[in-house]
Amino acid sequence: MFLAKGAEATIELIDGMVIKNRIPKSYRLKALDQIIRKQRTKMEARIISESRRRGVPTPIIFDIENCRITMEYINGPKIKDILTPGLSNNIGTVVGRLHLKGIIHGDLTTSNMILYDDRIYLIDFGLAFFERSVEARGVDVHVLFRTFESTHDGYEILIENFKKGYRRIFPDAEAVLERVDEIKGRGRYA
């Protein structure tokens, strides 16, 4: 069953597993495109697995082959459809744990979070990378706050509850949250 198609990949559910296939880019040389897609696929699978080892709920990776990842299907609602202030607090702890381990998600939106068994799972690590800078963490959180503002009512309380959860887990939370304000003020992300 077809689940989604994005700019970088198609997502299908086959035999109870999610299959993510990176799409070839016709504007690149074929050999170069193959190398890039393989590298990005490996990196994504590595970051998903590393996040899970570090206590962040993510799908289990079953296989990586060429430009395809086969992983566990997390059967639950997307957070974008059920977000509450309490869930926002939990998102703060999950993101805090991710950042504590030097992982930047790169696309922190409520569409890339699933609630299953009372846990928030992060999915779609296609833009993820390893980084410990305040700037990278700030951009990650800024993207999430923009999602709160653009798609969820009562976003102010969602942001405040996120901050509570984030501060509880991540020792450098204040520096990151100050950077979020600075990034917002720059206007380049508007």
Active site residues: 107
Distance CA 124, CA 165 (A): 22
Bridge-based pairing of strands 119-122 and 2-5 is unpaired
What secondary structure does DSSP assign to 119-140, as a single string?
EEEE---TT-EE---HHHHHHH
Query: Phi, psi (5° rounding) for residue 110?
Result: -70, -10
CB of 9 closer than 8 Å to CB of 20: yes
CB of 41 closer than 8 Å to CB of 66: yes
Whose tokens are 């999430």? That residue is 144
28, HSE (Cβ side, Cα atoms, 13 Å): 11
Distance CA 106, CA 95 (A): 11
